[in-house]
Amino acid sequence: MHSSSFAPRFSTKMLVFPPRCLAKLQLLYGASRYRRYIQSGPSDCPAVEVNFSNGRHITLSSGKLARFANGTAVSQMGDTAVMVTAVAKPKQAPGASFMPLVVDYRLKSAASGRIPMNFMRRELGPSEKEILSARLIDRSVRPLFPADFRTETQLVCNILSMDSVYSPDILAINSASMALSLSDIPWNGPIGAVRVGLCDGEVVVNPTRRELQTSQLDLVVSATKHNLVVMLEGKGNVVLLQDLLKAVKQGTREAQFIINEIERLQKMYGRKKRTVEAPPATETEISDAVKSMCEMRLREIFQDATHDKITRDNAVNEVRTNVIDKVWSSYPDTEPSLIAEEFNKICKSIFRSLLFEGNRRCDGRDYDSLRNISCQVDLYKPLHGSALFQRGQTQVFCTVSLDSHESAMKLDAITALESGLKAKNFMLHYEFPPYATGEVGRIGPIGRRELGHGSLAERALVPTLPHDYPFTVRLTSEVLESNGSSSMASVCGGSMALMDAGVPVTAPAAGVAIGLVTKYENNDTKHLTDYRILTDILGIEDYMGDMDMKVAGTRKGFTAIQADLKVPGIPLKVVMESLQKATDAKGRILDIMGEVIREHRKYPKDCWPVTERITIEPQQRGQLIGPGGMHLKRIYLETGASLTAEDETTYSIFAPSQAAMDEAKEHIDALLTKERIPDLEFGGIYSAKITEIRDTGVMVILYPSMPPALLHNSQLDQRKIAHPSALGLEVGQEIQVKYFGRDPVSGFMRLSRKVLQGAASSIPRSHNKATEEAA
């Protein structure tokens, strides 16, 4: 094993390389890593098995793969295996003011024995699923890095193999936890992560994909020791509060099995952690000067409820500029950046302390109050559905577009294997332009943050949609103003827009963000000295606080939850209180929404698309489709209606309006004009007229308006013939044939002449009803 992962347990045996190899190693890996590799020997770290209460287990191992990384771990469950490497630069960049953590998660086709079906036949950019899984890992491990650790760090999650039973994202979180714990990178872990399902009222730990298909809940719980919750993310099919709390408790307890094993390995084989480079300390005189100049002014700003987001930010920025200028003029040898950082610390401390001093927040609300909410639906006539949702200074405009099933989003093979879906007929696209916060920025491809917020809102609304809806639904959420919780505003506005579009949702849904401010000592969040839970948080409360828990659902239960923490875990008691406050707030928001729209619109709009089903006879498919689909293309170009085959005889018609549907049906009726067709008796003998001679047989008709049917060479004579000319048959000649009904698959007539030869030829010709009726 590479020494950067397990330094204390190396054997004293040295590896011997020829001089030429030594030079190559120095050139490839640099002097420092070359020395570490040469001095390393085999590691003693064994593979361990973590057993859960339901009998399932995860295998954790390290020491064989990727030994140049600072830490490497492989976790396996079933036949799904994930390797995560942790690498940090030797030193932090000068002037770094944050923790530059990068998580790369890739679902590789080779891991499941597949070839990518793009033009290059190789993995390209990250997919939506990969980005969401990377964010899941990031939010699980980031809170446990020391506050002063600002060295660039990268976690690379490599899917080694993937079966169709277990998902690799949970394994990636646990591998990342083990890799960081065993490495020399400063990290206050380990953590453990489990997926929790709810099948028939029973909690299932790390369910299989098949179990998830019938599960009411899909919840990921990341926790650290002492049953402290670090991260929550999940979706549910309207899960009751008591069931959600039970799942969180069970998931937190099960995560302790993983934590205990990783801690044991860390003590035996982990490397000594690096010393965290503390930022330059600010002199006491400067710190006192900054505090004396800004404390009273900041208190006045944060206690003035007349301020909104813009005026409050402008007032704080004005104080910041004034304090930095004055302090720097008195202490010219001090870097302005240090003065600014000290101001930011004092500003955050004052904001948080004011929340504990009184039952009032910076906008005048108490802890449990909501911001002012206003709603509006049916804004523009051409839109199938629309809604404007305003909560405080967060404003979201939602629109709904309905289209045919052909517009559903087709998923690639790997994403389909991971999610269990082949296509999505509901999509929520979240947009956050820079003007939403009064800034200038580039508008381009969707970012990771937008993708994550849109996915959360989509998960919140999917359980309320009908399963057999005949349209593909695209919901767009455009954030026009943002001052906190725009994703939950998208849930509220999106639910109203769906009802305005006539989508028969089972119940309206709403979402709210819950915040948290805590007090604790010595980095011990298990024993909080005090805390405050804030309902419907502002953007500044999210920035200054310790938690952002987004909760969405109907009045009956939860459909989505996402909890992000900035502290290394919170007790279960705080989680339960937060969920209860979210339930109360959710009900109040639904009451306000119900004053505008309570259920889906029953009467249609003129702009709504329509869909119908038609049934045709099998033999009419050729008339409807036309050569090369020519008739269907003509219908689409002239009316905008599209036809989709559901089976051999049923077609679904999608039209953008009722007028287009009526026009399309006229075209279809013209193509399928039914003349009076004689009733042909099965086994009856009829006189057939030859209309064409082919190499494979002759084309015949039994009545004047009949489309020609093929009488194959094999059915012309009891003797084997290669061409109809061998029998002297000519166009216009009439022959006797026997009718055996239609082929159930192709719809073609089944005719035979050879069965009438010999003994059958004495049968009278009195059954020529087709000719008589046609005449």
Give the CATH number of the domain where residue 707 resides: 2.40.50.140
Is residue 416's pLDDT more than 80? Answer: no
Q: What is the pLDDT of residue 190?
A: 95
Is residue 43's pLDDT more than 60? Answer: no
pLDDT tens, residue by residue, 717-733: 988 888 988 888 889 89
Same domain, 335 and 379: no
CB-side neighbour CA atoms (13 Å) of 726:
14
User: Tell me, what CATH number does 334's domain have?
Assistant: 1.10.10.400
Q: Nearest-5° angle of CA 131, CA 508, CA 490?
A: 40
Is residue 516's pLDDT more than 90? Answer: yes
Q: What is the 3-state secondary structure (H, E, C) of 315-358?
A: HHHHHHHHHHHHHHHHCCCCCHHHHHHHHHHHHHHHHHHHHHHC
Parent domain of 388: 373-560+570-594
Same domain, 168 and 81: yes
Same domain, 339 and 404: no
User: Tell me, what CATH number does 642's domain have?
Assistant: 3.30.1370.10
pLDDT tens, residue by residue, 234-258: 999 999 999 999 999 999 999 999 9
Is residue 644's pLDDT more than 80? Answer: yes
pLDDT tens, residue by residue, 52-80: 988 899 999 998 898 999 999 999 999 99
pLDDT tens, residue by residue, 110-161: 888 888 887 888 888 888 889 999 999 999 999 999 988 999 999 999 999 9
Report yes or no on 421 lying in a domain.
yes
Q: What is the pLDDT of residue 671?
A: 84
Is residue 356's pLDDT more than 70? Answer: yes
- Spatial separation of the C-alpha atoms in residues 650 and 79, rounded to whole Å: 42
pLDDT tier for residue 604 given thresholds of 50, 70 and 90:
confident
Report yes or no on 22 lying in a domain.
no
Report yes or no on 87 lying in a domain.
yes
Q: What is the pLDDT of residue 63?
A: 87
Report yes or no on 756 lying in a domain.
yes
Same domain, 75 and 215: yes
Choose the weakest-confidence range: 18-27, 158-167, 202-211, 418-427: 18-27
Report yes or no on 691 lying in a domain.
yes
Same domain, 392 and 484: yes
Which is more confidently placed, 552 or 420?
Answer: 552
Same domain, 537 and 439: yes
- Spatial separation of the C-alpha atoms in residues 369 and 515, rounded to whole Å: 12
Choose the weakest-confidence range: 30-39, 60-69, 374-383, 593-602: 30-39
Same domain, 576 and 708: no
Report yes or no on 16 lying in a domain.
no
Same domain, 662 and 523: no
Q: What is the pTM of this model?
A: 0.81
- Spatial separation of the C-alpha atoms in residues 408 and 421, rounded to whole Å: 12
Same domain, 710 and 753: yes
Tokens of residue 547, six digits:
């938690």
Residue 651, amino acid = Y
Residue 331, amino acid = Y
Report yes or no on 145 lying in a domain.
yes
Report yes or no on 19 lying in a domain.
no
Same domain, 662 and 689: no
Cβ neighbours for 526, distance < 8 A, ≥ 6 positions apart: 226, 228, 569, 571
H-type helices in 50-144, by residue range?
128-141
Question: Chain-wide mean pLDDT for the chain?
Answer: 87
